[in-house]
């Protein structure tokens, strides 16, 4: 009788684990995270802050979060082909390379994470003039592999990454907007 209960319990646990793994596997195969804010600056000024990776990393919250991050720029100084590699205890290891621009309205980059988890995503910045303000949208999208689906079952990637995008846009705003008199 005791053996019967143990086998039944193990069967129930196996079915629950199988159902959970099926649930995880059925989650979307891609993700998109984006945040938008209005900044009182011209698209040209903001484009330069994104398209030049030296300027980008003065307000980029991921680079600013670790004062010991090692950034190595390569390729062009800005625009298509400009790239930087990073190594950080907090942010891991990876590379970002600008692959397309449409001055002064768009910058597209490949974002490749090597550690702690390998991932290959696309980052897009779009700038839409609205009178004296420019709406800046920072977006990231890419595939959701099984491990990512599993991790995001327990934590919100939109909240985690989106919060950092919001910080970055606030940093950009602080750097771009003229101080009030």
Please report the pLDDT score of residue 181 as a whole number: 39
Residue 42 has pLDDT above 90, yes or no: yes
How large a percentage of the chain has pLDDT more than 70?
97
Confidence at residue 82, expressed as pLDDT on a 0 to 100 scale: 97
pTM, 2 dp: 0.85
Over residues 127-137, mean pLDDT: 96
**Collapsed DSSP state (helix, strand, coil) of residue 46:** helix
Please state which architecture CATH assigns to domain 30-176.
2-Layer Sandwich (3.30)
Contact 34, 136 (CB under 8 A): no
User: 30-39 and 119-130: which strand pairing?
Assistant: unpaired
Q: How far apart are CA 91 and CA 96, in angstroms?
A: 13
Q: Examine the pLDDT at 139 and tell me if it is beyond 70.
A: yes
Q: Report pLDDT for 84.
A: 95
Q: Which residue has the higher pLDDT, 158 or 105?
A: 105
Tell me the residue ranges of DSSP E strands in 2-150. Answer: 30-39, 70-74, 83-88, 92-102, 106-115, 119-130, 133-143
Instruction: Kindly report, residue by residue over 77-130, the tens digit of the pLDDT.
Output: 899 999 999 999 888 999 999 999 999 999 999 999 999 888 999 999 999 999
- What pLDDT is attached to residue 151? 83
**Where along the chain do its domains lie?**
30-176
pLDDT, position 65: 86
pLDDT tens figures, 30-39: 999 999 999 9
> For residues 138 and 93, what is the distance between their CA atoms, to the nearest angstrom?
21
Which sign, positive or negative, has the C-alpha torsion 79, 30, 173, 126?
positive
């Amino acid at each position: 009788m005791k053996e019967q209960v143990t086998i039944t319990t193990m069967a129930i646990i196996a079915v629950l684990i199988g159902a959970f793994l099926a649930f995880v596997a059925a989650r979307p195969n891609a993700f998109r995270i984006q945040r938008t804010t209005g900044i009182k600056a011209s698209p040209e000024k903001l484009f330069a802050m994104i398209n030049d990776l030296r300027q980008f990393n003065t307000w980029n919250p991921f680079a600013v979060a670790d004062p010991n991050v090692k950034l190595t720029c390569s390729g062009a100084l800005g625009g298509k082909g400009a790239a930087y590699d990073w190594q950080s205890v907090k942010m891991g290891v990876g590379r970002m390379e600008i692959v397309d621009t449409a001055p002064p309205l768009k910058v597209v980059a490949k974002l490749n994470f090597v550690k702690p988890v390998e991932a290959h995503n696309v980052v897009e910045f779009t700038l839409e003039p609205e009178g004296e303000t420019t709406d800046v949208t920072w977006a990231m999208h890419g595939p959701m592999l099984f491990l990512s689906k599993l991790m995001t079952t327990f934590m919100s990637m939109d909240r985690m990454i989106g919060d950092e995008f919001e910080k970055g846009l606030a940093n950009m705003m602080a750097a771009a907007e003229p101080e009030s008199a």
